[in-house]
């Protein structure tokens, strides 16, 4: 079986990201230079565990637990979707609690989120993300790509960096081209491993959870 097929809890790209996050976290804990960062992090944790936030978060988890239970009863959710559900709760469910004012002003906020998940570009990004490189390659390229993206954001702020920005954009485009070519090759040689129920669930579950989250956030 080719590496990166999503039968594991985490694919190689997610493992690589987790690896670097752990490295950064450990460095932050042990480095003397990170003293101020540690203090800020402690303050952030204290704010996070405020009673009001914990209460709302607890209610959200209960609500989503009920949603997952109902979906499972209708055959629309299974244990293979635990990772996607956890990621959704952190990236959409929890963060949305801090955007309540924006959401109240924009009544179509979540509907647009669902639609965006179903657009052609999202489908392409989803398919590209199904196949990943071997773990060692993912660990190597993750900080490189992150660094290029960060530098691209910096070069956007000043026109004098236009030549550097063009170079960085070219590098990102080249990487994207390689990923697309690799994905096409994997699809052509291992299509049977993508054309299955779990892959469909992986794509459908996040927008479905977003849609069903509307009554709670409203």
More confident residue, 76 or 195: 76
What does the block give as tokens for 49? 């565990």
Instruction: State pLDDT tens for residues 19-29.
Output: 999 999 898 88
Q: Is residue 5 part of a domain?
A: no
Instruction: State pLDDT tens for residues 135-194.
Output: 899 999 989 988 888 888 788 777 777 888 888 888 888 888 888 788 788 777 776 666
Number of domains in the chain: 1
Q: How far apart are the first and last CA of the chain?
A: 45
Residue 163 to residue 207: CA distance in whole angstroms = 39
Q: Is residue 31 part of a domain?
A: yes
Q: 200 is in which domain, residue-wise?
A: 12-217
pTM: 0.62
Q: Is residue 197 part of a domain?
A: yes
Instruction: State pLDDT tens for residues 109-145.
Output: 666 666 666 555 455 555 556 678 888 999 999 899 8
Q: Is 128 exposed, middle or buried (0-12, 13-18, 19+ CB in 10 A)?
A: middle
What does the block give as tokens for 135? 């773990």
């Amino acid at each position: 079986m080719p590496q990166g097929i999503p039968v594991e809890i985490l694919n190689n790209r997610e493992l690589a990201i987790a690896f670097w996050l752990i490295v950064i976290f450990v460095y932050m804990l042990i480095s003397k230079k990170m003293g101020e960062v540690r203090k800020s992090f402690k303050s952030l944790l204290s704010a996070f565990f405020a009673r009001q936030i914990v209460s709302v978060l607890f209610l959200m988890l209960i609500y989503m637990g009920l949603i997952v239970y109902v979906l499972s009863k209708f055959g629309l959710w299974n244990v293979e979707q635990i990772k996607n559900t956890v990621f959704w709760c952190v990236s959409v469910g929890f963060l949305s609690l801090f955007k309540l004012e924006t959401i109240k002003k924009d009544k179509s906020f979540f509907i647009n989120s669902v639609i965006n998940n179903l657009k052609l570009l999202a489908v392409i990004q989803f398919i590209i993300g199904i196949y990943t490189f071997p773990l060692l390659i993912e660990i190597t390229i993750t900080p490189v790509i992150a660094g290029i993206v960060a530098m691209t954001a910096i070069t956007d702020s000043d026109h004098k960096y236009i030549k550097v920005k063009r170079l960085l954009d070219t590098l990102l485009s080249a990487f994207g081209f390689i990923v697309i070519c690799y994905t096409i090759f994997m699809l052509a040689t291992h299509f049977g491993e993508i054309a299955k129920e779990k892959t469909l669930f992986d794509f459908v579950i996040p927008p479905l959870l977003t849609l069903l989250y509307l009554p709670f956030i409203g």
